Amino acid sequence: MKSLALTTALATIAALSATPAAAQYTKATPPVAIPEPTAQAAAPSPAAAAQPQVKLSKKASKAIIALQTAVTTNDTANIPAKLAEAQALAETADDRYAIGQLQLKSALAAKNDESAALAIDAIAASGIVPGARSAGLYNAVGINFYNAKNFDRAAAMFEKGMAADPKGFESLKLLAEARNSQGRAADAAQLIQKSLAVAAAAGQKPTEDVYKRAVSLAYNAKLPIAVDLGRQWVQAYPNSESWHNAVAIYRNMMRPEVESTLDLLRLLRAANALSTSGDYTLYATAASEQGNFGEAKSVIDEGLANKKVDAASSLARDIIKGLKAKPIATAAEVETASKSAKTSTALNAVGNRFYGLGNYTRAAELYRAAAGAGGDSNLANLHLGMALARAGDKAGATAALKSVSGAYAPIANYWLLFVGKAR
């Protein structure tokens, strides 16, 4: 177990590419190990609590000053008695705050986290400092407990931090780490998800590392919320890494069939997020199984050109060899085929050919016709939204994608993220 830091909870989710073979469309790939967060522990600072100006009561002032002298001179033999005397005479919130501050200073000098926890209780109970400052102190001493592998005490401190500052999200993140170390992975994932919601409600944007950690905790625990967290990651930080991992997690957990897999890989291509050889070869395999040989060849050629696909690999060689034996329709031939397409299935298939050729406007026309031909309107509208998105018609794409319901709705939601209109 590695150490935590007060303001960081770092973990990078590794690439989660499915094995590039047709047999893997409905099979989840094993999760890749994700590193624990690493950093040095942060110690609670009495200086942070020293800023308020306090007025001691006449009854307790002498005892508090005596305690201060003992703490300042590190008179450890007499500090317990002086502390007890001051606590017994305290009358006001200012008295209790001052005593708590001195108790905390003494505890830190002695490296006594249990005593520090009691001191922070006194500081928080005084009401002199804002809840956020009390939460910061609880979190800091909680981190010390965590790094000593006393996860139960760490969790108790982070819970107190949450109570002190309900609108803060740092305590939630730290409690998530403690729960994970306690073997409560599901609770950990839900807590860090809640931290994201609390941050959003406060108008704050967590760092990308927090989203990565949330996704990794949920995915490792095999929780369905990993899919939603992946989408949130993309929405907050749309980049090739977030797209690639969010889609991979969806595929690994939801196991979509070949056509939906192809639509997700088309999304990655649109987002410039095809990242591995497996992405390209799986895309080509899926397109080939749908009869879109031109699209399959196009994506393999792209992977070869950008060095993501190794032409010498056995899988790439097999795909390239297989595509050489397949008929790749020209634009004219696809246009001719469109004239005889009458059913929704046929219209969708021809639309896919135009999509594979990069003629998204013509593809959209065929998909629109498919939506009105009595077949699966959800599939047709998904493909219509995809084509319009690639054609640059964001308004049209948004309308089409938002009309998708049922089994295709999650994929439509990913495409809505791509056009910037998440629902």
Q: Is residue 5 part of a domain?
A: no
Three-state secondary structure readout of the chain: CCCCECCECCCCCCCCCCCCCHHHCCCCCCCCCCCCCCCCCCCCCHHHHCCCCCCCCHHHHHHHHHHHHHHHCCCCCCHHHHHHHHHHHCCCHHHHHHHHHHHHHHHHHHCCHHHHHHHHHHHHHHCCCCHHHHHHHHHHHHHHHHHCCCHHHHHHHHHHHHHHCCCCCHHHHHHHHHHHHCCCHHHHHHHHHHHHHHHHHCCCCCCHHHHHHHHHHHHHCCCCHHHHHHHHHHHHCCCHHHHHHHHHHHHHHHCCCHHHHHHHHHHHHHCCCCCCHHHHHHHHHHHHHCCCHHHHHHHHHHHHHCCCCCCCCHHHHHHHHHHHCCCCCCHHHHHHHHHHCCCHHHHHHHHHHHHHHCCHHHHHHHHHHHHCCCCCHHHHHHHHHHHHHHHCCHHHHHHHHHCCCHHHHHHHHHHHHHCCCCC
Instruction: Look up the CATH number of the domain holding residue 189.
Output: 1.25.40.10
The CA angle 276-280-286, to the nearest 5 degrees, is: 135
Percentage of the chain with pLDDT > 90?
A: 79
Instruction: Tell whether 345 and 317 lie within a shared domain.
Output: no
Q: Which of 327, 344, 369 is the last residue of a domain?
A: 327
Please, what is the average pLDDT of the chain? Answer: 87
Asked if pLDDT for residue 281 goes beyond 50, the answer is: yes
Structural domain including 337 reads 331-418
Q: Is residue 145 part of a domain?
A: yes
Longest dimension (CA), the chain: 99
Asked if pLDDT for residue 1 goes beyond 80, the answer is: no
Instruction: Tell whether 321 and 382 lie within a shared domain.
Output: no
Instruction: Tell whether 104 and 78 lie within a shared domain.
Output: yes
Q: Is residue 209 part of a domain?
A: yes
Instruction: Tell whether 59 and 168 lie within a shared domain.
Output: yes
Q: Is residue 123 part of a domain?
A: yes
Q: Which of 327, 353, 381 is the last residue of a domain?
A: 327
Instruction: Tell whether 216 and 110 lie within a shared domain.
Output: yes
Q: In angstroms, rounded to a whole number, what is the distance separating the alpha carbons of residues 423 and 420?
A: 10
Instruction: Tell whether 348 and 322 lie within a shared domain.
Output: no
Instruction: Tell whether 121 and 146 lie within a shared domain.
Output: yes
Q: How confident is the model at residue 168 (pLDDT cuts 50, 70, 90)?
A: confident
How confident is the model at residue 167, as a pLDDT?
A: 87
Q: Select the more confidently predicted residue: 7 or 99.
A: 99
Q: Which of 225, 249, 269 is the last residue of a domain?
A: 225
Instruction: Tell whether 151 and 213 lie within a shared domain.
Output: yes
Q: Is residue 359 part of a domain?
A: yes
How confident is the model at residue 374, as a pLDDT?
A: 85
Q: Is residue 181 part of a domain?
A: yes
Q: Is residue 161 part of a domain?
A: yes
Q: Is residue 74 part of a domain?
A: yes
pLDDT digits (tens, 9 = 90+) for 406-415: 999 999 999 9
Query: Mean pLDDT throughout 78-86?
Result: 96
Instruction: Tell whether 88 and 174 lie within a shared domain.
Output: yes
Instruction: Tell whether 61 and 197 lie within a shared domain.
Output: yes
Asked if pLDDT for residue 37 goes beyond 90, the answer is: no
Query: Mean pLDDT throughout 347-357?
Result: 95
Residue 311: other Cβ atoms inside 10 A = 11
pLDDT digits (tens, 9 = 90+) for 182-232: 999 999 999 999 999 999 888 889 999 999 999 999 998 899 999 999 999
The number of domains in the chain is 3
How confident is the model at residue 46, as a pLDDT?
A: 45
Q: In angstroms, rounded to a whole number, what is the distance separating the alpha carbons of residues 222 and 28?
A: 11
Instruction: Tell whether 353 and 319 lie within a shared domain.
Output: no
Instruction: Tell whether 264 and 401 lie within a shared domain.
Output: no
